[in-house]
Structure 1
Amino acid sequence: MADEEGAEQGELAITRTGDKLRLAREAAGLSLADVATRTRITQRHLEAIEKSDFSELPGRTYVTGFARAYARAVDLPEAEIGAAVRRELEEDAYAARPAYEAYEPTDPTRLPTARLAWTLVIVAALLVSAYGVWRFLSVEPDEALIEAQNRDADASEAPATATGQPATKAVSAGGNVAANAPVVLTAIGPTEVWIGFDDATGKTENWRTLDVGETYEVPPAYIQQFTLRTSIPQALKVTVGGRDVGQIGPADTLVKNISLKPADLIAGAEESSGGVPAAAPKG
């Protein structure tokens, strides 16, 4: 009888989605490094997911996408895991709200005044509007986005030249740049940097997080089809054919619609030589 009660209590203790993911990983004999390789998500972020410590992730917007990718790697139903994570996020948000003590309006003097009531209505309307703007501007990764990231990562990390022949000179002494010059993004710190690639409509079709010191060579197809966005421009170094084009925007500011074409990046660097370098936005 005691054994049955202990087993039941053990099952009840597993209430968070992170516990389910961790147990599934251990049952499959996988380490966090194995899951990181399959999902291309850093081990630190995977540990945060297992602990259901979503504040450690680069943004709450991407928690669901990370969790679904983890679930797929350990053969759990990703739709179910995604729904569970969304519920936990809502519960965390509710728990973070300030608690107000209820009162019984038995005494007319304790009733809120009309001015206070209207103030509360206005504050509530402003909060609803702010939430709507946040939802409009945020981009939540979906299954297609995660698959695109996994599909293109190997190609982006391939060497610039597949043969032993020397690479074509990208930038001439006069500042001209070859159309096929490699575009490389490097996280220079002091923190990791998030980068996204937007299509012509402004929708983020692929994204990734670069750890400090990590480099990412933009695939040729991305250069032609997408523009770059990032929220920490000062932590990202952009080079074209080995030439540093300078900072692509003001520090700690969301920049987007940055053309990845070598000629545009070089032109933007040359035009802003008198101030903070910034790459040319896509026209």
Structure 2
Amino acid sequence: MTVIDPSAVPTCEQPRVGERLKEARLKQSLTLDDVASRTRVSRSTLRAIESSEYDHLPADAFTRGLITLYANFLGLVGPQVADQFFMERDGGKHIHLSFLKKSRMTHALEPKKLAEPTHISSAALATILLVLIVVSFTGFCLYFAWNPFGYLVDKTRNLSSSVTNTFHPADPATSREIQPPPLTVQAVFLTDCRMLVALDNGKPMEQTYAKGTSMQWTAEREIQLEFSQPNSAQLHFNGTPLPFPDSTEGRYILRLPTLSIPYEE
């Protein structure tokens, strides 16, 4: 059975519920964005309520709660405004609700519950994730009978043992002297040249080379070259260009190694 409330039916003199809500909002100099941010009702839903766009609204139970929230926010009587809104939509017909439905709308669909989503703090999420990781790791260790602490201790002991055995001065196997690389000098003669060559502790030997000749000498500890004239050859020491020696009392002597030419490692 339906009961018609003539006072709730919109006439030409009485604006619709949505228009009255909009007028109340504008009197308070509020925009739809202002209302949406403070009530957590979406801007599109607020516009649909003000424009009476019934097809763009959710189910009746949710719509009633949203309208009640919006009207209360503007200082109006929310439940009464919601009833008038649905009576307008249904052509002035007032639908009687059972006691159970009224109770659900009063308690389960409170505006605050309807508008505010449930939030879980990031700290709670991190704690839950950590607990899940610990439980999963513990289950893995129990299932495979694996002791991670014993594994780490064994790894640490092996590492310490390998570091200790790497070098020991009293151990002939680990106290070998590091030998420097051999000394190598290459020469490309630019002019005919006579020179003296001494390798390591050997006796100097006199040799003559023609222009354009290439020559290489290799020694373990020392090379001494004496040229008869300046700038007579292009020199390389262990693959690196080497300047021609300066004159010392009319002699052009190259001794390797020198402090300015380190060994290549």
TM interval, short-chain normalised = 0.3 to 0.5
Hey, which of these two has a bigger chunk of helix by percent?
A: 1
- TM-score relative to the length of structure 2: 0.38
Which of the pair has more CA radius of gyration?
2
Question: TM-score, normalization: structure 1?
Answer: 0.36
